[in-house]
């Protein structure tokens, strides 16, 4: 049975994973390439650019912009009408609120957009695992747990299939 995700939101953790060539990069690229529509908060894009700059690799920011364009990720503006949703997400999930799944400032914007659009989120790491956001990689058959540090692994890979 093939599970399809029609649209999803992308968190900065995935784009940075790809930029750094981390182990899950190819899985993310493969699965996001199958999704009809990808979205990214404008604030998350700013975070990605700053994070990419911190890699201090010449041409990294241009390469990140090319990656976002190649994946056809649509940037969604964050405006005054989004403040209430952001505030609600921050009060429940920002690390300063001491929730079970602490999100940093950038994560809250990805979370807020995914909730607002009622879409699953592509992310990597433990931070979103304890939130109610829909996990795109989990929907697509990947296991993401605190034990594997929220790095997606195909569920049947451990069975040697």
Q: Residue 92 has which token pair?
A: 């429940």
> Left, alpha or beta for 99 (phi > 0: left; psi -120 to 50: alpha)?
beta
Global pTM reads 0.85
Weakest mean pLDDT among 29-38, 124-133, 136-145: 124-133
Res. 6 pLDDT band, cuts 50 70 90 = very high
- At 98 the three-state DSSP class reads coil
Res. 101 pLDDT band, cuts 50 70 90 = low
| pLDDT value at 159 more than 50 | no
Tens of pLDDT, residues 50-88: 889 887 788 889 999 999 999 999 999 988 887 777 777
The CATH number that domain 7-152 falls under is 3.40.50.1010
The residue ranges of every structural domain in the chain are 7-152
| pLDDT value at 160 more than 50 | no
């Amino acid at each position: 049975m093939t599970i399809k995700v029609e649209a999803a939101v992308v968190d900065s953790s995935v784009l940075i994973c790809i930029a750094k060539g981390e182990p899950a990069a190819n899985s993310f690229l493969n699965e996001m390439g199958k999704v009809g529509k990808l979205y990214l908060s404008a604030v998350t894009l700013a975070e990605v650019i700053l994070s990419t700059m911190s890699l201090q690799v010449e041409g990294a920011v241009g390469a990140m912009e090319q990656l976002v364009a190649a994946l056809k990720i649509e940037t969604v503006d964050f405006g005054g009408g989004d403040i209430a949703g952001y505030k609600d997400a921050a009060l429940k999930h920002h690390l300063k609120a001491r929730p079970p799944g602490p999100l940093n400032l950038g994560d809250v914007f990805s979370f807020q957009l995914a909730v607002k659009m009622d879409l699953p989120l592509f992310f990597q790491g433990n931070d979103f695992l304890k939130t109610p956001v829909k996990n795109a990689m989990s929907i697509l058959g990947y296991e993401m747990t605190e034990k594997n540090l929220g790095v997606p692994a195909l569920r049947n890979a451990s069975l040697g299939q």
